[in-house]
Amino acid sequence: MLLAPRVWGSVRLGARGLAGRAPAEGRKVDIAGIYPPVTTPFTATAEVDYGKLEQNLRKLGTVPFRGFVVQGSNGEFPFLTSIERLEVVSRIRQAMPKDKLLLAGSGCESTQATVEMTLSMAQVGADAALVVTPCYYRGRMTSAALIHHYTKVADLSPIPIVLYNVPANTGLDLPVDAVVTLSQHPNIVGIKESGGDVTRMGLIIHKTKKQDFQVLAGSAGFLLASYAIGAVGGICALANVLGAQVCQLERLCLTGQWEDAQVLQHRLIEPNTAVTRRFGIPGLKKTMDWFGYYGGPCRAPLRDLSPDEEEKLRLDFTSNGWL
């Protein structure tokens, strides 16, 4: 059953999605490549700073990325209103190079809300939707529940769906058997795998190789290992500051220059850990300030780094020759 139309601001959205188009029927898109998960800049009063967002995007647009991920975890999407989420994606679509892909985070806790947000993201210009696992009732998020959720979203979406597994944030691993089942859906094209378990990633790649299904590494810290076992790219927080270097690592892997790739991968591990697991988004935004982007503050309840944390963050970059 299709959902009734909803009004977001002045934009009328309905179940037929982008420009009246019906739900997708297996429209494939090649998502291979490197993507930065774009951060959301805020003013000192915690309003979205669209000017700084476009300024960052212009600089990121000079790096040979495949595209951009918008409203992923690094975009602080849980702290934005629905209208803000859509406006950010709309502004980026208008500002970004036309030959780049735009993957927009559309995950919500309920299936109905996720369907509606996915339709909305399609209308404001997303090429594909990145859908995080619902997790509030994680004890009931069985394989059957998650397969039902993603199938319904994919059935009704006018754009392709990319699964998003990020257990560090959700406390939930999308089961491998569920991924394998979902890989057979004609409108589910891949997965962003952020757990860091390369064995699990290899198993997913092995079990979905007969499908037209692509796996993206969710972090630069294990990008080389991911390419070695058959991943096709990465969505990497570190690419917001060391984008050229992450893209260089991709090129070295794709051309079989494994020794050079190993050297570069080793130099990226500590900085990557610093802006992900160790200091998170506050660390990433502080580093962006150092590298000529606008990082700025996070939205509460996230807090800025302490002076001691900032010193440790800087050391992780200087000790590896990046600052």
The pLDDT tens digits for 46-88 are 999 999 999 999 999 999 999 999 999 999 999 999 999 999 9
Mark the binding-site residues, compressed into ranges: 235
pLDDT of residue 21: 45
pLDDT of residue 5: 33
pLDDT of residue 28: 77
What are 12-39's pLDDT values in tens digits? 333 333 334 455 555 579 999 999 999 9
Judge contact between 284 and 241, C-beta under 8 A: yes
What mean pLDDT comes out for the span 271-283? Answer: 98
Residues 6+ positions from 263 with CB-CB distance below 8 Å: none
User: Is residue 44 predicted with pLDDT exceeding 50?
Assistant: yes
The Cα–Cα gap between 98 and 114 comes to 26
Q: By percentage, how much of the chain surpasses pLDDT 90?
A: 90
Lowest mean pLDDT among 203-212, 257-266, 279-288: 203-212
The one-letter amino acid code at 40 reads: T
pLDDT of residue 142: 98
What mean pLDDT comes out for the span 80-99? Answer: 96
What mean pLDDT comes out for the span 234-242? Answer: 98
The Cα–Cα gap between 227 and 216 comes to 9
Indicate the average pLDDT of the chain: 93
User: Is residue 10 predicted with pLDDT exceeding 90?
Assistant: no
Q: By percentage, how much of the chain surpasses pLDDT 70?
A: 92
Domain 16-257: which topology? TIM Barrel (3.20.20)
User: What positions carry a catalytic annotation?
Assistant: 164, 192
Strand bridging mode 6-8 / 11-13: antiparallel
Mark the binding-site residues for pyruvate, compressed into ranges: 235
The Cα–Cα gap between 285 and 168 comes to 19
